[in-house]
Structure 1
Amino acid sequence: MLSDSELQMAKRSVLFSHVPDGMLAELLKDSHKRNVARGATLFVQGDPANHMYVVLSGCVKLVRITPGGEEVVVAVYSEGASFGEAVALKGGTYPVTVDAVQDSLLLQVESRVVFDTLRSDPDLALSMLSSTFNHLHELVMEIESLKALSGAQRLATFLISLAPVEEGPCSLVLPYDKVLIAKRLGMKPESLSRSFANLRKQGVSVKRHAVQVSDIGQLKSFVEDDEPMPGRAS
């Protein structure tokens, strides 16, 4: 049984954000909560895609393993995020491996239940189609950002997403270690260090996991106005 706060957390996800509250409660009544310890694997690339998930607490990373054995971080999701929905509804196998970055509590939703409900409820189908489109749009924008922005701009965008304010000074805490942040932003750890150094002139200082930003508005301007030069992507 989900608590009211857990239902609201599910409502925050892209997958269920457009689903009316009453319909969402009915849809999720038979879902399960699953604890995944830090470092544990939820599923591996190639497993049957039988479920979709919402992060109720904690943090997970989605990775692909290249033919050369290198781990590529596709995404990192924290509370309120959903994943696995598109492939679970389509059927087939998961294209990524999911590991817990922190001790995490996940809402596990059986894809068959959602699919059966979609077939019988056109309104729900439209709501979730809209949500899935929004999720795809976010991923496309993220890929575009990785290709178009310099390393410092990517890092600035990441810090802006963590900021508790829209303008002015703020303090924030990096949600996971810098090695994972570097992989998440498509760069090497040494490139991340250089990017933090480059952001000093934009009023950013970092000490371990604590970050001070003198003006979030200045960071936004840096991302929008500073055109990346060739060779600056990493």
Structure 2
Amino acid sequence: MLFDQGDSYQSAISTFVSGARPSVSFRAVDAEAVARVLASAPVFNALSETERGELVGHLRPRRFSRDEVVFHRDDAAGHVYVILSGSVKVSIPDEEGHEIVVAVEREGAVFGELALFDDAPRSATVTALDQTQVVTLAREDFLRVLERSPRATREILRLLARTVRRASGRIEDLVFLDVPGRVAKCLLDLATAHARTEVELTQDDLAAFVGATRVSVNRALADLESQGAIAVGRRHIAVKEPALLRKQVRY
């Protein structure tokens, strides 16, 4: 542990940040930022300050560059991740090198949570979309706190339920929506989930997200842009008229 039971949560966070190894320095992230993210992150927000403080000494900071892989599908699992800044995509690759993007996660999100429940390998590949800072926590350290916190256990179950619902919704979209509809719904969902009008996603990633070719996605984007629904930029798409996007979503 990096702190004793007499330390406050904020003191523990400060010790953690200042004690990060030089190779994974968190000079750009102050103690308040770490505390704020942990206090709002799913599952962690269900813990008391004392319980979060108990975990702080076991957190390990890591930093990833844009397009750097956090972990690959079938890698050994054992840690859960919390995003302090930046964003990642969660994807499932096939044998030919193509991928299906199943989620985009941003600051405050928890991923890799399946590692808490079994010894199975990773079920997906996670890649940084931009400069991304995370903290990792080993399964056994988190489970010790979960065993004493029914509220946090319920939050983990809610997180897993959200993942299942999201997967079910993706299947429904692939079956019942055409490509323009899937593109429109994807942009709406991402903008709503992250409370932002700009979706930071390349057109290749968007094509992988909706299960279509880049050519068909480019065609759909061009049509939506001509209607004034979106504005396409470099590595991002701005949602300008959500109502026009919703008109494209016809089941």
Please state which band the TM-score falls in when normalised by the shorter chain.
0.7 to 0.9
- What CA distance in whole angstroms lies between the structure 1 residues aligned with 2:81 and 2:180? 32
- What CA distance in whole angstroms lies between the structure 2 residues aligned with 1:21 and 1:120? 11
Match status 1:177 vs 2:217? no
- What CA distance in whole angstroms lies between the structure 2 residues aligned with 1:24 and 1:142? 35
Letter in 1 for 2:32: D
Cα offset for 1:52?
0.9
Letter in 1 for 2:114: A
TM-score (norm 1): 0.77
- Partner of 2:75, secondary structure, is coil
- Partner of 1:93, secondary structure, is coil
Equivalent residue in structure 2 for 1:193, among 205, 218, 236: 218
Letter in 2 for 1:203: G
Q: 1:42 to 1:207 in 2, by over 3 A?
A: closer
Percent same amino acid at aligned positions? Answer: 23
Unpaired segments ≥5 residues, structure 2: 1-15, 18-30
Match status 1:162 vs 2:191? yes
- What CA distance in whole angstroms lies between the structure 2 residues aligned with 1:94 and 1:145? 25
Match status 1:218 vs 2:244? yes
Cα offset for 1:214?
5.1
Q: Could you tell which deviates more after superposition, 203-212 or 138-147?
A: 203-212
Cα offset for 1:38?
1.9
- What CA distance in whole angstroms lies between the structure 2 residues aligned with 1:184 and 1:190? 14
- What CA distance in whole angstroms lies between the structure 1 residues aligned with 2:202 and 2:165? 27
Which residues in structure 2 correspond to 1:22-171 (within 5 Å)? 22=49, 25-26=52-53, 28-29=55-56, 30-160=58-188, 161-162=190-191
Cα offset for 1:78?
2.3
Deviations 1:2-59 (A, max 9, x none): 6333333345444445x14526623531212210122322222222211011222112
Letter in 1 for 2:242: I
Q: Could you tell which deviates more after superposition, 107-116 or 70-79?
A: 70-79
- What CA distance in whole angstroms lies between the structure 1 residues aligned with 2:239 and 2:89? 26
Letter in 2 for 1:177: T
Relative contact order (alpha carbons < 8 A, sep ≥ 6): 1 or 2 greater? 1
Partner of 2:228: 203
Q: 1:151 to 1:94 in 2, by over 3 A?
A: same
Aligned residues: 220
Q: 1:16 to 1:218 in 2, by over 3 A?
A: farther
Unpaired segments ≥5 residues, structure 1: 228-234
- Partner of 1:181, secondary structure, is helix
Cα offset for 1:133?
1.9
- What CA distance in whole angstroms lies between the structure 2 residues aligned with 1:192 and 1:117? 45
Deviations 1:160-218 (A, max 9, x none): 23269x9xxxx944413211121122211111111113324643243433656553233
CA-based RMSD? 3.0
Letter in 1 for 2:124: V
